[in-house]
Amino acid sequence: MPDMRYILITDEVHPFLPNGLQEMGFEVHYRPKIKPEEVLKVIDDYEGLVVNSKVYVGKEMIDRATKLKFVCRAGSGLEVIDLEYAKAKNIIAFNSPEGNRNAVAEFALGALLNMMRNISKSNVEVKSREWNREENRGNEVSGLTIGMIGFGNTARAFAKLLSGFDVQLLAYDKYYHGFSSGHVMEASLEQIFEKADILSLHLPLTAETSDMVNVDFLSKFKKPIWLLNTSRGKVLDTSAMLNGIKEGRIIAAALDVLENEKINALNPDEQNAFDALLADNRVFLSPHIAGWTHQSKLKIAEVLLARIKAVYAK
């Protein structure tokens, strides 16, 4: 490359990515502690931008990024990028869902078993010197029907793990069809409402999916369900879910994601909902770590580097 080209990395990534970019001839500015407002001030210097969830690449950012050729998400959620506006400005946008799909799948399986067998709950109780065997009698996954909403990378990896269990897997995806196999049946929402014992969400956050799982949606299930969300917090209406638990339509819920994950900066309504989540021992919470493994950190870096190389191979 005759002129020096700069890439800004705004979140922590595996060293494989900046090292690989340097080998390509880029000058890499690795600034995982940079604040979004600081990115706005310097973005005009960069040809490439790597983000996670901290920085939103919207119209204001893109208008200032006069040299930007590509922006990529270290992970799967492209809601942090205004894709239409980026495309209008000839900026290539992409993500790396293959990098953490196995991590999310393994976590989803663990969260499901934990929820149904009261593993973390009983651990806390025993450490508090409570020996509650009958109160923690659990339920087996085998023999149940699992409904998956969304059948992208993570759902397919989760389905692969579940193939070792004696379960019926029903999957609905509005934009992906023809994927029925020996252990997964492509299904309509109506079939999932009728047959599912467990609901697992694998949806991107878009205008279409925001609050998709609301009071009306949950009311359509014919049986009480266990609910698992490892996708995006805002696809699930927390108040509707809490209502469902209160009314017995939801047996328990395992949430790796929340509507607002800045738990120390909640508005009053969000704080009330969060307090209700904390108070209910039928709700199992984790801090958005489903895709957060040492292995996925490297895999994401490998996927991104390959895609950046592909941009410059054109």
100-285 — its CATH code?
Answer: 3.40.50.720
Q: What does the alpha-carbon distance between residue 146 and residue 165 come to, in Å, rounded to a whole number? A: 11
The pLDDT of 15-21, averaged and rounded, is 98
Tell me what pLDDT residue 4 has: 78
- Classify 271 in phi/psi space as left (phi over 0), alpha (psi -120 to 50) or beta: alpha
Query: Which residue blocks in 228-293 are alpha helix, DSSP H?
Result: 238-246, 268-279
Tell me what pLDDT residue 284 has: 97
Nearest residue to 285 via CA among 255, 241, 245, 244: 255
Instruction: Tell me the CATH architecture of domain 6-95.
Output: 3-Layer(aba) Sandwich (3.40)
- Whether pLDDT at 160 is above 50: yes
Tell me what pLDDT residue 39 has: 97
- Identify the band that residue 99 occupies on the pLDDT scale cut at 50, 70 and 90: very high
User: In the chain, pLDDT over 70 holds for what percent of residues?
Assistant: 99
- Whether pLDDT at 246 is above 70: yes
- Whether pLDDT at 1 is above 50: no
- The tens digit of pLDDT for each residue in 164-218 reads 999 999 999 999 999 999 899 999 999 999 999 999 999 999 999 999 999 999 9
- The tens digit of pLDDT for each residue in 261-280 reads 999 999 999 999 999 999 99
- Cβ-defined contacts of 181-190 (< 8 Å, 24+): 183/159, 184/151, 184/159, 186/151, 187/147, 189/149, 189/220
Average pLDDT of the chain to the nearest whole number: 96
Helix (H, G, I), strand (E, B) or coil at 72: strand
Taking the domains of the chain in order of start, what are their residue ranges?
Answer: 6-95, 100-285
The pLDDT of 146-158, averaged and rounded, is 97
Query: Is-same-fold flag (6-95; 100-285)?
Result: yes
Buried-exposed string 158-187: b where 16+ CB fall within 10 A, e elsewhere? bbeebeebebbbbbbbeeeeeeeeeebebb
Q: What does the alpha-carbon distance between residue 4 and residue 230 come to, in Å, rounded to a whole number? A: 40
- Whether pLDDT at 26 is above 90: yes
150 CB-near residues (< 8 Å, 6+ apart)? 172, 173, 201, 202, 203, 204, 231
